[in-house]
Amino acid sequence: MKKDLISIKNLSKQEIYKIFNLAAQLKKEQRQGKRHNHLLAGKTIAMLFEKPSLRTRMTFEVGMYQLGGHAVYERLIGEKIGDRESVQDVARNLERWVDGIVVRTFSHQNVTDLAKVANIPVINALTDMLHPCQILTDMFTILEKKGRLEGIKVAYIGDGNNICNSWICGAEKTGIILKIACPEGYEPFKDMTITHSLEEAVKDSDIIYTDAWASMGQESEKEMRNKVFQAFQINKKLLSNANPDVLVMHCLPAHRGEEITDEVIDSSNAIVFDEAENRLHVQKAILSLLLRNEL
């Protein structure tokens, strides 16, 4: 029976750690110069992207190549999945040609509809609601740096967006203690304790995490959001309220001078490029396990 990756909430704790263990193995092998192109030899994925991408596209394409497979990229410019033909028909076509579908779309319903119909694995590479591949990578990176996830305190500062929503799912599965600080009216999709005090959120935290104030598709709100979120910037003053060894994370792209300052993102506390690198290794593990029906 095929399995999809739509949300972290659909994974068990054991499955999450299975992904992490394989990601660690693949990362070690790559650094040792060992090839693992036998894992998905001859396999192909279709990548349907409504939104632009650097990390997601690059890491899925490079990942498939390193695993011995091939990725076919389809950038939908000026249209969305389901515009030219139904989402269901797209799924029925693709399942005849490829071994998996990676989708980056505005509507979360598109991903769930594709997964419902397609007899091949569907991977959510970002929707307006969730970004599971990013948060799985972030948790893997924390595990590398801290040696555990259970009891780790993560302060999420900013918009209650798809990143924040996926953090809620990830924390519930792994025992991470998540604190969320966001402006009123910008809360995440699930009822939980929210603070509007940054100092309260970062106190005793192991990780401080932020994201863009205006996501893709919200460009018209950027000026307004910059005013609303101005007090939610990650800067040196805020870090003075946290533990000296606190780690700072950002899913990127970063808008320097807005949600995070140069002196923080370029500091020794920041591990943003470590997490960016790990997108490759974690997504290779996801692809390998799903396309071989081992998850």
Q: What are phi and psi of 292, to 5 degrees?
A: -100, 5
Does 45 fall in a domain? Answer: yes
Residue 215 lies in a domain: yes
- Same domain flag for 170 and 262: yes
Q: Are both 154 and 266 inside the same structural domain?
A: yes
pLDDT value at position 195? 85
154: in domain: yes
- Indicate if 12 and 127 belong to the same structural domain: yes
Q: Let me know if 169 is a catalytic residue.
A: no
Catalytic residue among 55, 128, 134, 169: 134
> Catalytic one among 133, 159, 211, 250?
211
pLDDT at position 191 is 67
For residue 168, report the phi and psi dihedrals to the nearest 5 degrees.
Answer: -60, -45
Same domain, 205 and 117: no
From 131, 225, 250, 281, the catalytic residue: 131
Same domain, 104 and 183: no
Same domain, 126 and 223: no
Residue 31 designated active-site: no
Q: Return the CATH number at 235.
A: 3.40.50.1370
- Tell me: do 127 and 142 sit in the same domain: no
Strand order in the sheet with 194-195: 194-195, 177-181, 153-157, 207-210, 247-250
Does residue 244 form part of some domain?
yes
Indicate the SS3 state at residue 43: coil
> What residue ranges of the chain have pLDDT lower than 70?
191
How much is the pLDDT for 198? 87
Q: Read off the pTM.
A: 0.96
Query: Is residue 229 domain-resident?
Result: yes
Count of structural domains within the chain:
2
Does 1 fall in a domain? no
Residue tagged active-site, from 104, 108, 225, 250: 104
pLDDT of residue 77: 76
Q: What is the pLDDT of residues 28-50, one digit of tens each?
A: 999 999 999 999 999 999 999 99
Round to whole Å and give the CA distance between 293 and 121. 9
146 and 121: one domain?
A: no
256 and 144 housed in the same domain? yes
**Cα–Cα distance for residue pair 22/96, rounded to 1 Å:** 28
Q: Please give the pLDDT value at position 11.
A: 98
Is 197 in the same domain as 184?
yes
Instruction: Based on the residue annotation, tell me whether 84 is a catalytic residue of this protein.
Output: no
Q: Which one of 57, 225, 250, 279 is the catalytic residue?
A: 279
Q: What is the extent of the structural domain holding 266?
A: 132-274
Q: Which of 164, 169, 182, 251 is catalytic?
A: 251
Shared domain check, 257 and 159: yes
Residue 18 domain-assigned? yes
Please tell me whether residues 147 and 175 are part of one structural domain. yes
70 is annotated as an active-site residue: no
Active site residue 75: no
Residue 105 belongs to some domain of the structure: yes
In DSSP terms, 46 is beta-bridged to 72, 101
